[in-house]
Amino acid sequence: MGREVGEIEVEGIGKVLVSYSGRAKYVSIRIKPGQIVLVIPHRYTLREALNFLDKKREWIQDTVRKSEKRLSSMRPILFDESTEYKTLTFEVCITRVEGPHFQSKLQEGVLTIYCPKSADIASESVQTLIKKVVERTMTVEAKRVLPDRLRYIAERCGLKYDSCRIRNVRSIWGSCTKESHISLNLYLMRLPQHLIDYVLIHELCHTVELNHSERFWALVDSFTGGRAKSLRKELRGYYPGI
């Protein structure tokens, strides 16, 4: 990237790594996990670069907050009695019980997982078991809820698709093939309703524009009240996984 000259402390922002670049044409700011980098072309002075940094103070603070939120959502969850884990249709409750067996029950919007008191709840094997129960329940609920919601939105928007299936993936929220087969990530169930609807609209729009061209985003905008950009940005704060 360039020649790093060390960190400086900037009030209201924190530590900033200063890097001079012979290739850069303009001052730029790069935000990485746990690090803010100020890239300075050789023709700019440090004072000029810091003035630019100051003008971007609110944007930096906002971006850092969202980055920290995303990193937090990507950290593995430790399920125990104090864990708060909610989906669109149910929340998880871990209850310690006497006896040697694990059991689970979904009732009135609560998935209760009964964990033996003798089990080491923090162990990898127990955590894996709990997560499998949560994912299995989420899959059932996703198959119950998401296809109907997709059908409703498609009718409302006047768009058609061929089929819908629910998948467990860690990379994308949804996809659409040229044959209009739509796949939806079961972890959509962890999103607020308005972001679920945005993903469904996004995939439905691919039945018309199988790309991310200006025409595609204009179509998404037309069905989201001009909020395609802000919804896409908000979605980046979430991670598809436990």
- The domain total for the chain is 2
User: Is 226 found in the same domain as 170?
Assistant: yes
| Residue 80: inside a domain | no
Q: What is the mean pLDDT of residues 201-228?
A: 96
pLDDT score of 90: 98
Residue 61 CA to residue 144 CA, distance in Å, equals: 40
Question: Which pTM value belongs to this model?
Answer: 0.70
Name the residue range of residue 197's domain: 85-235
pLDDT score of 75: 59
Q: Is the pLDDT of residue 103 over 70?
A: yes
CATH number at residue 122: 3.30.2010.10
| Residue 240: inside a domain | no
Q: How many residues does the chain have?
A: 242
Q: Is the pLDDT of residue 202 over 90?
A: yes
User: Is 50 found in the same domain as 7?
Assistant: yes
User: Is 152 found in the same domain as 67?
Assistant: no
| Residue 202: inside a domain | yes
| Residue 241: inside a domain | no
**49 Cβ neighbours under 8 A, 6+ residues apart:** 18, 27, 38, 40
Question: 108-121 pLDDT, tens per residue?
Answer: 999 999 999 999 99
Question: 19-68 pLDDT, tens per residue?
Answer: 888 888 889 998 876 789 999 998 899 999 999 999 998 899 888 877 76
pLDDT score of 70: 65
User: Is 208 found in the same domain as 101?
Assistant: yes
The amino acid sitting at 32 is K
User: Is 207 found in the same domain as 116?
Assistant: yes
User: Is 209 found in the same domain as 145?
Assistant: yes
User: Is 34 found in the same domain as 13?
Assistant: yes
